[in-house]
Structure 1
Amino acid sequence: MLKVHEIFASIQGESSFAGWPCGFLRLSGCNLACSWCDTRYAGDSFADMAVADAVAALMALGLPLVEITGGEPLLAPETPHLVAALADAGLTVLVETNGSLDIRGLDARAVAVMDVKCPGSGMEGRNDYANLDRLRPRDEVKFVLTDRADYDFAREIAARVWTGRMVHFSPVPGLLDPARLAAWMLADTVRARLSLQLHKYIWSPDARGV
């Protein structure tokens, strides 16, 4: 059974799919504790749900784009089955994962949006760097940045995945000014995308279920 915290429709706020209406399924539980985490509320609040019921609930939203997120979705042994079932139904499936767990079990039709944890998260030592070599052509990589040290770290690691793959640099609200990050990226001609969590600009940064 899946431990589902919430299912909702919103505007995709991150990745190369930002701006598109999207159905979200948020699973409960995470194996990391990032300093800037904005979904701690999903840590231990959930309802058990069978994969078939989760697929039906997402299909009922009527949206061709869906995301499985958390928490950390790869902690659930049922996640690969859920992803495959959604892909079988003709949906575009994003899986947002924290980069600490092997992504090879994901259906090849899914798009992994994989974090690489920077030092400012406090979780940099939990990165599974072998995942950088497991990325499929459509997968995307995201770095969440708190300061210049995180930026320099991200630039170094991102150089390993810049061959045509989408890379996102996302500043933590209240810790790193997006204009400052933009200036660094322009000065260094960085081949990455500035990601500003669109949903936090549409709604309150503290809003849930959006």
Structure 2
Amino acid sequence: MKLKIHEIFYSLQGESSRVGLPTVFVRLTGCPMRCVYCDTAYAFSGGSNMEVEDIITKVAEYATPYVTVTGGEPLAQKDCHVLLKALCDQGYSVSLETGGAIDIAPVDPRVSVILDVKTPDSGELKNNLWGNLAHLKKADEVKFVLCSRADYEWAKDFLAKEQLTAKCSVLFSPVYSQLAPADLADWVLADKLPVRMQLQLHKILWGEVPGK
């Protein structure tokens, strides 16, 4: 069973409730979406085919219990589910970063899903698969990447409409170098939203460096 892998690397988790944890990242090649703020466009193509067993062997070299499967869009490769199950079977604490356009129902229930909900300013609102919201578990997280005050207001209304915070944790993240983090913090505090505001730790530490 082979997957097209763009890179496997070891770094600190930069986002989600796992922020700061030493983590192995398995980045799959390819993505069907083109968000205006995408910071991993280099993973749309390239990479090499790897057997699942070889991926597991490479992950084991880093001796950490935390693994994040990401992209691109990892679920665009249907055999990603085989990899996720294999990692869980090995005892890893596995998270999956997915853009929200592909069905998460088949994802192994042991995996923590980090699900993007695309906002209007992302340019990909139309590709949200709304049925994914019904498959969220308490251990999952929903992420809104916000480009503007208009995006923030849209996300705030969406939270209330879908009662998302009753289903799982919700993350609000400002687009790097576009939306001022302090502005987003002020809005969240003013509206008393029960969300986790996050910054991308890896970019604070290393800037926009691939493989970090």
Normalising TM by the smaller chain, what interval? over 0.9
Q: Name 2:209's counterpart in structure 1.
A: 207
CA distance in 2, matches of 1:146, 1:49: 36
Match of 2:84 in 1: 83
What displacement does 1:164 show? 5.5
Corresponding residue to 2:199 among 192, 196, 201: 196
Letter of the 2:183 counterpart:
R
Rounded to whole Å, the distance in 2 between the matches of 1:33 and 1:115 is 13
1:46, CA displacement in angstroms?
Answer: 0.8
In structure 1, distance between residues paired with 2:176 and 2:6: 24
Counterparts of 1:13-92 in structure 2, within 5 Å, are 13-92=14-93
Q: Aligned equivalents of 1:12 and 1:174: distance in 2? A: 20
Moved more, 115-124 or 148-157: 148-157
Q: CA deviation at 1:158?
A: 2.3
What is the TM-score of this pair, normalised by structure 1?
0.97
Counterparts of 1:90 and 1:171 in 2: how far apart (Å)? 33
The CA deviation string for residues 120-152 of structure 1, in whole angstroms up to 9 with x for no partner, is 110001001111111112110000000011101
Q: Which residue of 2 aligns with 1:165?
A: 168
Q: Which runs of 5+ in 1 are unaligned?
A: none
Whether 1:185 and 2:185 are equivalent positions in the alignment is no
Alignment correspondent of 2:140: 139
Question: What do the CA deviations read for 1:85-122 (whole angstroms, capped 9, x no partner)?
Answer: 11111100000000011001110000000000001110
How many residues are aligned here?
Answer: 209
* Contact 1:51/1:78, CA 8 A, preserved across alignment: no
Structure-2 residue corresponding to 1:117: 118
Distance in 2 between residues matched to 1:158 and 1:92, nearest whole Å: 28
Aligned partner letter, 2:152: Y
CA displacement at 1:77 relative to structure 2: 1.2
Q: For 1:156, give the aligned amino acid.
A: D
Counterpart AA for 1:33: R
* More deviation, 23-32/49-58: 49-58
Q: Is the CA contact 1:28–1:71 (under 8 Å) kept in the aligned structure 2? A: yes
For residues 73 and 158 of structure 1, what CA distance do their matches in structure 2 show?
26
Distance (whole Å) between structure 2 residues aligned to residue 22 and residue 89 of structure 1:
15
Q: Which amino acid aligns with 1:144?
A: V
Q: Output the CA distance in 2 between the equivalents of 1:60 and 1:114.
A: 28
Shift of 1:47: 0.4
Displacement after TM superposition at 1:196 (Å): 0.3
More helix by share: 2
Q: Residue 95 in 1 paired to residue 93 in 2?
A: no
- What root-mean-square deviation, in Å, do the aligned CA atoms of Structure 1 and Structure 2 show? 0.8
